[in-house]
Copies of this chain bind each other. A is one copy, B any other.
Amino acid sequence: MTENPDLIIDGLQYCNWSRRIFEDMRDGGVTTVHVTISYWEDFRETVARIVEWNRRFEDFADLIAPVRSADDLRRAQAEGRTGIVFGAQNCSPIEDDLGLVRVVHDLGLRFMQLSYNNQSLLATGCYEAEDPGITRMGREAIAEMNRVGLVIDMSHSAERSTLEAIEISERPIAITHANPASFHPALRNKSDRVLAALAESGGMLGLSLYPHHLAGGSGCTLEAFCEMAARTAELIGVERIGIGSDLCQDQPDSVVRWMRNGTWTRALDYGEGSKAQAGFPPQPEWFRCNRDFKGIAQGLRAAGFDAAEVGKIMGGNWLAFFERSFGPQPGRT
């Protein structure tokens, strides 16, 4: 793999997709984005989301292209189009059918969280009171995800489940969008113990720009974010971090209500928010949309990273991870 200094890869977005957002990506130099296609969607509903994306790939062919491999990413970059990688923030797309792991991979899914905020059939989410770790089906699913090349994402999972997923998985896993809890002690952020295990196994952490994951929330400064990146690089190595903005551009507040509540509860669950702050929080003024990534690169330089390191954080590390993660597991059929 040759040096690719202009890479900008975002480890997670869930925007209200439109031509304007795809133009922002182009104008902002965004190479590829991992986009969420499912939160609570079952298999059939996930397929409906894929059908919608296939239509977008036709309607906006001048701006975006599907990415299922590192080669696809490089091709899209060469064509001046932003690559789109599909992912799910829950295991709902595979329902209770292990055979669907390969099917969703065939349909282009490259990341799947083993749980969202709640207990799933595979693992525990960070808002459950108890975390029993990876379930019987979870162990089967991890082996199957390893086999086909579907990356295990534990961004919303609870501590023990995350540690066990790292240990059980034979391939590196990802936490596509979260920050160290030492930076901001949100339930969604990760302990030093999790980060150390993640790094030791060759996994990736996508640093989040979602205000509830930031010290100071929406008022967090670019400097504070980039200093956190520097401390995290010292802790787990610069090769282990990337960006996972969790950008939800142009989404109405009804979407964050649905993300939190799905169809599982009668009472309103506020997740990371609160009754007083129930909607999407405002983005920091230095990261409002897909045009703002280059400002982060500048901030990282100012925080002491050299140009090569900034290139790795902004995209090189994710590309290397995609390269070794999206294909079948060597030695398994």
* A interface residue numbers (CB < 8 A to B): 40, 42, 92, 95-99, 118-121, 124, 127-133, 135-137, 140, 143-144, 262-267, 269
Return A157 CB to nearest CB of chain B, in Å: 14
A129 to B133, CA, bound (A): 9
Given the interface pairs A118-B121, A121-B119, the reply to whether A265 lies near B136 with Cβ below 8 Å is yes
Closest to A136 in B: B118
Can you report 7 residue pairs joining A to B where beta carbons are below 8 Å apart? A92-B96, A118-B135, A119-B135, A119-B136, A130-B133, A136-B265, A136-B269
Q: Are B121 and A137 in contact (CB under 8 A)?
A: no
Cβ-defined contact, B128 with A131, below 8 A: no
Would A267 and B121 count as touching, CB distance under 8 A?
A: no
Q: Could you tell me the dominant secondary structure of chain A's interface residues?
A: loop
Copy number of this protein in the oligomer?
2
Which residues of chain B come closer than 8 Å to A99, judged between CB atoms?
A: 263
Neighbouring B residues of A128 by C-beta, 8 Å:
132, 135-136
Identify the 4 closest CB pairs spanning chains A and B, nearest first.
Answer: A130-B132, A119-B135, A97-B263, A132-B132
* Neighbouring B residues of A144 by C-beta, 8 Å: 266
* B265 with A98: CB separation less than 8 A: yes
Known contacts A40-B96, A265-B136; A121/B124 CB under 8 A: no
Known A-B contacts: A119-B136, A137-B265, A140-B264. Give 15 more (CB < 8 A).
A42-B95, A97-B263, A97-B264, A98-B263, A98-B265, A98-B266, A99-B263, A118-B121, A118-B137, A119-B119, A127-B136, A129-B132, A131-B132, A132-B132, A136-B269
Residues of B within 8 Å of A130, CB to CB, are: 132-133
Residue of B nearest to A122 (CB): B119
Closest beta carbon of chain B to A101's beta carbon, Å? 10
- A124: B residues at CB distance < 8 A: 132
